[in-house]
Amino acid sequence: MEFNRRNFLRQSLATAAGITATTMLPNNLWGMDLHQSNYPEEIILKPGKRAKPKESIRFSVIGLNHGHIYGMVAALIGGGGELVSVYSREPELLPNFTRVYPNVKVAKSESEILDNNSIQLVASAGIPVERAPLGIRVMKSGKDYMSDKPGIVTFDQFKEVKKVQKETKRIYSIMYSERLGNPASVKAGELVQAGAIGKVVQTVGLGPHRMRPNSRPDWFFDPEKAGGILCDIGSHQCDQFLFYTNSKQAEVSLSQEGNFNIPDYPKYMDFGDMNVRSPHAIGYIRIDWFTPDGLSTWGDGRTFILGTEGYIEMRKYADIAGREGGNHLFLVNQKETKYYDCSKVHMPYGEQLVSDVVNRTETAMTQAHCFLATELALTAQKNAYRLNV
């Protein structure tokens, strides 16, 4: 017994000494700091001094069915555009628009705008199924076209739009606003192009939205009119995948959708996801209508960009970790961890599009990119496996 007791005491003392010695060694020798983290350096980006846009155009609006039209018009005006007139087939949509833009002329018909040779561009946020036919008429009238997304909702429309665009050489631009209208997305593009995270190999795009059926028109729930969830809000994410990975070719490898929570509209899908890939990058996209009412805004939209030397995360519209507002960007690479407040970052799309109209260039978005993003979304929608839920 005494022998065993002495052994026990000897082992206990040795163990205690070992523990004491261990605590004196650097943590990283044992990998004990793997779960420790430091607060990132915070950078609040300030607006730079910007010259007045060099170019100007006269533009009009046809179709006010989606609120995105206000962001589209603001981008054009900020980029040097002059709003001339507006036409809405639904007169009840006009009062709010004319309240925001009191000097706009209310046209009596679509043809009044299309026949006006002084108007260079038409913008539209009409019912989605009507956007491509309108765009075709706009291009045939000798004008350029700016559409809300989805700018095309069927492959028949897609084929005709491409044909007319090639014949007329007019611009058919779709405003994928989750990139073109978001300051954090613009800053992410600058960082990626500067090589901050090396070669981009994957994007993950999350596009949740809040569903309030009573606030939505009937056409919203009809896939034949609205295009379906993958065609509609999925097109935002397809655009971002192509842009951040600098992909000129891409395909959809898998897509699926389901109606989980809206039994009153059985044709409507409130969840969808897809996998896309290009010769050098891959992407995952998830979109849904499950934003809970407890969130301060319509959706906790996030984009993750993975590179060979680091990664970027954007929290575009909210940061549930506690930072106020939106436009948050996090950068982690081999040298540093940074947080950027991107609220004041300039969004160049409107000015670039105005310049493209004047100079017949493709600085805002190449036509090939615009069409490829739409083609991916249309393909995902057409081939989606429908979940029985």
Tell me, yes or no, if the pTM score tops 0.85: yes
More confident residue, 148 or 19: 148
Q: Is 292 left (phi over 0), alpha (psi -120 to 50) or beta?
A: beta
CA atoms within 13 A on the CB side of 345: 28
pLDDT per residue as tens digits for the range 251-287: 999 999 999 999 999 999 999 999 999 999 999 999 9
Label residue 36 by pLDDT band (50, 70, 90).
low
Contacts of 251 (CB under 8 A, 6+ apart): 276, 277, 278, 376, 379
Label residue 38 by pLDDT band (50, 70, 90).
low
Can you tell me which residue has the tokens 């809000």? 233
pLDDT at position 42 over 90? no
Closest residue by Cα to residue 236 from 269, 203, 197: 203
Please give the average per-residue pLDDT across 205-214, as a whole number.
94
Instruction: Output the pLDDT for position 388.
Output: 80
More confident residue, 349 or 27: 349
pLDDT per residue as tens digits for the range 60-102: 999 999 999 999 999 999 999 999 999 999 999 999 999 999 9
pLDDT at position 156 over 60? yes
Instruction: Look up residue 115 and give its two tokens.
Output: 């026949």
Instruction: Output the pLDDT for position 151.
Output: 97
pLDDT at position 128 over 80? yes
Give the lowest-confidence range in 1-15, 214-228, 242-256, 357-371: 1-15
Please give the average per-residue pLDDT across 109-127, as a whole number.
98
Across the chain, the runs of DSSP E, i.e. the strands, are: 41-44, 57-62, 81-87, 105-106, 121-124, 144-148, 172-175, 200-208, 251-258, 271-277, 282-288, 302-307, 310-315, 328-333, 337-341, 385-386
pLDDT per residue as tens digits for the range 336-372: 999 999 999 999 999 999 999 999 999 999 999 999 9
Please give the average per-residue pLDDT across 225-237, as a whole number.
97
Instruction: Output the pLDDT for position 268.
Output: 95
Q: What is the mean pLDDT of the chain?
A: 92
The helix, strand and coil proportions of the chain, stated in percent and rounded to the nearest 5, come to: 35, 25, 40
Query: Please, are residues 334 and 342 in contact by the beta-carbon 8 Å criterion?
Result: no
